[in-house]
Amino acid sequence: MTKIAVFASGSGSNFQAIAECIERGELNAKIELVVTDKPGAFVVTRAQKFNIPVLELTPKTFDSKAAYEQAVIKALREKDVEWIILAGYMRLISDTLLAAFPNRIINIHPSLLPSFPGKDAISQAFEHGVKVTGVTVHYVDAGMDTGPIIAQAAVEVAGTLDETEKLIHATEHQLYTKTLQQLFAQK
């Protein structure tokens, strides 16, 4: 069984999809820790329902980004975490964390990268008038959504932004867990 930590900054819907797949036996992993940079984020409530420990840290209370990431690494090592799974974590990962988990940090992004990297990707795609957008699972590097692509799924843009967001999120929940299971089976 692969020991993972899920990093999230907001509601945690991708965290919940992963946790539910684990409960159903569809993903051979154990979430050892949820890490959030936004104390009180809804992902904390979701994690508590699954009895998963949460590390809530406020980055600006640390002297540097490296110091913040060192505190995170310490907690991850205490739990023997093997992989970091970003699920709506809205911070760039620096060399400190990248060096501690080389090729073991995965992200999901709501577009067909390299199109529409960064924040508000669904809105960007919708405003650009594209007919097809999608979801990308990729390794994390020091850039913003620039790491090597592992898997992608196309999603047709719906009539409204809200409908498109719902389609994207449903696709994320399926693609992420399926891709993680394939990655963990290779280790």
Task: Find all residues with CB under 8 Å of 50, minimum gap 6, and list them.
Answer: 19, 23, 31
Whole-angstrom distance between the N-terminal and C-terminal Cα of the chain?
A: 10
148-155, Cβ contacts within 8 angstroms, sequence gap of 24 or more? 149/113, 150/106, 150/179, 150/183, 151/175, 151/178, 151/179, 151/182, 152/112, 152/113, 154/112
What is the DSSP-derived secondary structure letter of residue 60?
G
CA torsion 109-36-127-112 (nearest 10°) is 0
- CA atoms of 156 and 130, how far apart (whole Å): 9
Contact indicator for 110, 14 with CB cutoff of 8 Å: no
Is there a catalytic annotation at residue 109?
yes
Angle at 35 between CA 29 and CA 37, to 5 degrees: 155
- What residues are labeled active site? 109
